[in-house]
Amino acid sequence: MHKPQSFYQEVLLDAIPDPTLLNSVRLISGGTMNQSVLLETDKGSFFLKSNHLPSSDVFVQEIKGLTLLHKHSPLQIPKTIGAGRIGDQNYILIEWIHGGYPNENYWFDLGRGLAELHIATAPQFGLEEDNYIAILPQKNNFHPSWSEFYTEERLEPMIGKAYYDGLVNKAFYKKFQTIYPKLEALMPKEKPALLHGDLWSGNVIVNKKGHPCLIDPAVYYGHREMDLAFSKLFGGFRTEFYEAYNDVFPLEPGFEERADIHNLYPLLVHLNLFGLSYLPGIKKVVNKYL
């Protein structure tokens, strides 16, 4: 359901310095989390996403994530126009990416582009600010080791939320925590890599020239296998993508066996967002490593 026309006019006035004429609005998607629309204006086409979350910085952090990706990735990242809050609604306004069909180099370009992104590094795992994955807060306190970061900033907050919200019982919560001491030995030792953070097929779109474009990041400096594992969780990435990635930045042997432990985080995110249908997958991974 569309918002009042006045809301879109207010967004354009807030985000664009010069007066902008709104020609039309087209609903792209509407759900419990966000509403997305295409705004056609006399200054071009814009993608607008909005929600009613009480957190007023959710899209401000998304802007920062897109900006960081743009700085370090050769892949197309939508240009950011503005983000803010109008009344009780948060919004983000970005460049509209005119769609097309993947060209013959699409998967190779995506693999090489992600590898180049992951080459960007930092002294520790984390990020200067906390941000969000979808609409869930994502803590990014710095840690010197990946296992420590993964435990304290990713797994424990999400399983803790699931327990608090009644999605898991106390027995499983305690069982889940017994994985933490095993993580250090399971993960290859690598430098922190700049991650997209929410890399599934829905967050990679095709531009009009057939090139890949990254959207909706949840960035931080983490273990690069997180992005690669997430790309396998819901399918949609072809073999050429992984081949091209390995040509630029080869993975350590055994990645396929480690992917499940990395995917505990996105599975927990989905459990907290969408409910109990994701719990059997989490339990399967936990039982695999205990």
Q: Where in the sequence numbering do the catalytic residues fall?
A: 198
CA distance 275 to 153: 21
Q: 220: which strand partners? A: 195
The label of the residue with tokens 């086409």 reads 45
User: Residue 144's CB: how many other CB atoms inside 10 A?
Assistant: 11
Which three-class secondary structure state does DSSP give residue 29?
strand
Give a three-class secondary structure readout of 69-103: HHHHCCCECCCEEEEEEECCEEEEEEECCCECCCC
CA distance 178 to 15: 48
- Binning the chain into helix, strand and coil, the percentages to the nearest 5 are 45, 20, 35
User: Residue 277's CB: how many other CB atoms inside 10 A?
Assistant: 9
User: Residue 55's CB: how many other CB atoms inside 10 A?
Assistant: 14
The tokens for 118 are 């992951």
- The count of C-alpha atoms lying within 13 angstroms of the C-alpha of 133, restricted to the half-sphere facing its C-beta, is 25
Q: Considering only CA atoms, which of 123, 120, 154 is closest in space to residue 140?
A: 154
Q: What are phi and psi of 130, to 5 degrees?
A: -70, 155
The tokens for 278 are 């994701």
